[in-house]
């Protein structure tokens, strides 16, 4: 069995046409699962540790109580804030119904009294679910530490972004850290796309968007609490904006759920497009995994 360090593209056509290798775990419980060339096996790997876990059917995308009217109200609230700033209000282009082709994404967290695994549903501006974010590779020890201590914020966290069929389309890993975070973005096959690097620890939080050694843009919090973010390209032109939406005092006090709207101002090319989408889908997970909190 080969090393799980360099997964190849996941099987998407006839399984027998793809070589044996490690691929993103289709059921989302681990980072990788071994494909023997014909079928998925029970061999899994998370954070470099291999184990055995019998395969089950992939879970459906995360649901958070689907209500199109609620989604549309969140979009309206985002547009109202945009109007106050004098920025773009309406979607700038027609979407194609995919995670990477919609001008507006609404990201809603599954509300929990005690949060062990982060889970989010992703909707288009009309309220149709088009994907989800799920945390994977959480060991029993990490789950206990997350509930009982604050040490979880310093550990490695891995997330899968999936479409409505449950297919992994992007992977996000925030390695263990002390002060500043770095987030590694890969495609559904585990091939590197770029990085999101925290550039300061005091004041308004700022992140750089990188592909290799090239700085493609930035994410800038608009205040020290970092409730809203401006995403800019390498020339400091705003290409997208993330707005946190208010869900009411009761929900804010008694659950850990957060909800965001991303609006992309113009069609973008990869890898910037992928990094912008990843930024929006992980701002409350990989980027906000610590109590310093961007929020």
Angstrom CA distances, 97 to 36, 75, 122, 127, 225, stand at: 33, 16, 12, 11, 32
Residue 285: both structure tokens together: 């997970």
**In the structure encoding, which two tokens stand for residue 207, read together?**
């992140």
pLDDT at 115: 43
Can you name the residues that pair with 133 across neighbouring β-strands?
120, 161
pLDDT at 154: 57
- Return the bridge partners of 263, or none: 104, 241
Dist CA 236 CA 261 (whole Å): 21
Helix (H), strand (E), coil (C) string for 55-121: CCCCCCCCCCCCCHHHHHHHHHHHHHHHHHHCCCCCCCCCCCCCCCCCCEEEEEECCCCCCCCCEEE
Sign of CA dihedral 78, 79, 85, 91: positive
Residue 51 burial (CB < 10 Å; 0-12/13-18/19+)?
exposed
* CA gyration radius, the chain: 19
**Which burial class, exposed, middle or buried, applies to 223 when counting CB atoms under 10 A from its CB (0-12, 13-18, 19+)?**
exposed
Give the residue among 75, 63, 113, 110 at the shortest CA–CA distance from 245. Answer: 75
From the list 2, 1, 3, 10, the residue with the least C-alpha distance to 190 is 10
How far is 184 from 207, CA to CA, in rounded Å? 13
Please name each of the domains of the chain with its CATH number.
Answer: 1-58 (no CATH), 68-282 (2.40.160.200)
Asked if residues 159 and 172 have their Cβ atoms less than 8 Å apart, the reply is: yes
| Residuewise pLDDT in 10s, the chain (295 residues) | 665 654 444 444 334 456 888 888 877 778 888 888 888 889 998 878 899 988 776 555 555 556 788 888 888 888 888 888 888 888 888 999 999 999 999 988 775 433 445 778 899 999 899 998 888 875 555 544 444 445 456 578 888 898 887 788 998 888 877 778 889 999 887 889 999 998 887 888 889 999 999 999 999 988 766 578 999 999 999 999 998 865 443 333 333 446 889 999 999 999 999 999 998 777 765 555 444 444 3
Q: For residue 226, what pLDDT is reported?
A: 59
Q: How far apart are CA 135 and CA 161, in angstroms?
A: 9
């Amino acid at each position: 069995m080969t090393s799980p360090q360099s997964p190849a593209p996941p099987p998407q056509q006839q399984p027998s046409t793809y070589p044996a290798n490690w691929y993103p775990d289709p059921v989302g419980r681990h980072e990788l699962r071994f494909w023997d060339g014909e079928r998925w096996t029970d061999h899994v790997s998370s954070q470099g540790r291999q184990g055995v876990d019998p395969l089950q059917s992939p879970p459906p995308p995360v649901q958070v109580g689907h209500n199109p009217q609620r989604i549309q109200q969140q979009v309206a609230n985002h547009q109202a804030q945009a109007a106050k700033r004098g920025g773009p209000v309406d979607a700038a282009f027609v979407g194609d119904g995919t995670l990477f082709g919609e001008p507006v994404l609404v990201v809603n967290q599954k509300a929990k009294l005690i949060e062990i695994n982060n889970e989010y549903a992703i909707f288009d501006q009309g309220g149709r679910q088009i994907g989800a974010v799920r945390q994977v590779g959480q060991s029993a020890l990490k789950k206990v530490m997350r509930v009982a201590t604050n040490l979880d914020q310093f550990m490695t966290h891995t997330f899968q972004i999936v479409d409505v069929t449950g297919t992994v389309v992007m992977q996000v890993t925030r390695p263990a850290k002390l002060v500043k975070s770095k987030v590694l973005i890969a495609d559904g096959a585990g091939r590197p796309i770029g990085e999101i690097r925290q550039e300061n620890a005091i004041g308004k939080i700022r992140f750089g968007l990188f592909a290799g050694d090239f700085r493609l843009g930035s994410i800038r919090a608009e205040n020290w609490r970092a409730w809203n973010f401006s995403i800019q390209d390498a020339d400091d032109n705003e290409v997208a904006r993330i707005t946190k939406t208010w869900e009411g005092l009761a929900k804010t006090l008694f659950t850990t759920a957060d909800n965001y709207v991303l609006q992309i101002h113009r069609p973008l090319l990869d890898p910037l497009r992928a990094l912008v989408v990843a930024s929006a889908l992980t701002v409350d997970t990989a980027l906000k995994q610590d109590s310093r909190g961007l929020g």
